[in-house]
Amino acid sequence: MGYCSFHQAVPENSDLFRLLENDRLAEALLTWFWSEGSHPLKFREMGDEDVEEHLNSYVKQAKVKRTIAQSMFDRLKAAVKRTCIEHPGLEGRTAFLEKSHVQIQEWLKNRFSLTGLEDGPRIAQQFLFGNSGGHDYGSFGRYDSALVRQAAAFFLEHDDFALSDEADDWFGDDLQRLADLFIAADRCGEIVLMYGE
C-alpha cells in the first residue's frame, strides 16, 4: 500500500488559519476529517449522520469530551465558511497525490541535479511534504509562504516539462496538480497544508 496526500491552500490572513494556528484541537479535528476521506474544506457539506459518526469516532479515539469536540467542529465549520467566502476559489486550490510520491521525488531530484542544486534531495522532499511535519503516515504538514513561493518559481521555470512523455498518466497528472496548486497559492499569497497517509 502506498502513501497518499491531500494538499490544500489556506490564506494566512484568514479565520481558518488563525484557528488552526492557535488551537491544536482545531488542527487535530481537521486532520481527523481529512483522514476519514473528506475533502479538506468540504466537510461542512457532510450530512448530519456522517458528521455525528466522525465526531463520535474522534471522541472515542482522542478521549475528548463530546461537547468540546462539537463546539470545536462548529467553530471550524464557521471559519471554513467565512474563509471560503472571503477567498473565492479556495476550495479548488488543492492537489491529491495518490501513491506517486516516490516517482515525483525522483523526478524532482533529477531536475534539481540537472541545474546543479546541491541540496536537491532535501528540497524535493519539502516540495512533497512541506517544511514542518507531514513526513509520517497519518501526519499533518505545512508549507510556509517561502516554500510555496520557491516551489511556484521552480514549476513556472520548468513549465516546459512533458510529463506524459516521462511517466504514466497518474504520475504526470499528480505532478501537474501539485505544480498548479503551488502556482495558484503563491499568486493568492497562501500557504499550503497537507495531510498524508
Q: Are residues 162 and 146 both part of a single domain?
A: yes
Q: Are residues 98 and 81 both part of a single domain?
A: no
Q: Are residues 108 and 138 both part of a single domain?
A: yes
pLDDT of residue 1: 43
* Count of structural domains within the chain: 2
182 in any annotated domain? yes
Any idea which of 31-40, 71-80, 113-122, 163-172 has the lowest mean pLDDT? 163-172
Q: Are residues 100 and 71 both part of a single domain?
A: no
Q: Are residues 57 and 81 both part of a single domain?
A: yes
Q: Are residues 20 and 41 both part of a single domain?
A: yes
pLDDT at 166 over 60: no
| Cell numbers given for 172 | 504526470
Residues above pLDDT 90, as percent of the chain: 37
6 in any annotated domain? no
CA 145 to CA 141: how far, in whole Å? 13
Confidence of residue 133 (pLDDT cuts 50, 70, 90): low
Expressed as residue numbers, the domain containing 29 is 13-91
pLDDT of residue 15: 93
CA 68 to CA 186: how far, in whole Å? 35
Which residue among 91, 115, 149 closes a domain?
91
pLDDT of residue 16: 93
Q: Are residues 66 and 105 both part of a single domain?
A: no
Q: Are residues 166 and 114 both part of a single domain?
A: yes
Instruction: Beginning with the edge strand found earlier in the chain, give each strand of the sheet holding 94-98 in spatial order.
Output: 94-98, 4-11, 190-196, 139-143, 132-133
128 in any annotated domain? yes
Q: What are phi and psi of 192, to 5 degrees?
A: -130, 135
pLDDT of residue 189: 94
Of residues 189 and 131, more confidence is placed in 189
**Mapping DSSP to helix (H, G, I), strand (E, B) and coil, where does residue 179 land?**
helix
Which residue among 64, 91, 118 closes a domain?
91
Q: Are residues 114 and 189 both part of a single domain?
A: yes
2 in any annotated domain? no
Of residues 3 and 125, more confidence is placed in 125
Which residue among 65, 91, 117 closes a domain?
91
Q: Are residues 82 and 135 both part of a single domain?
A: no
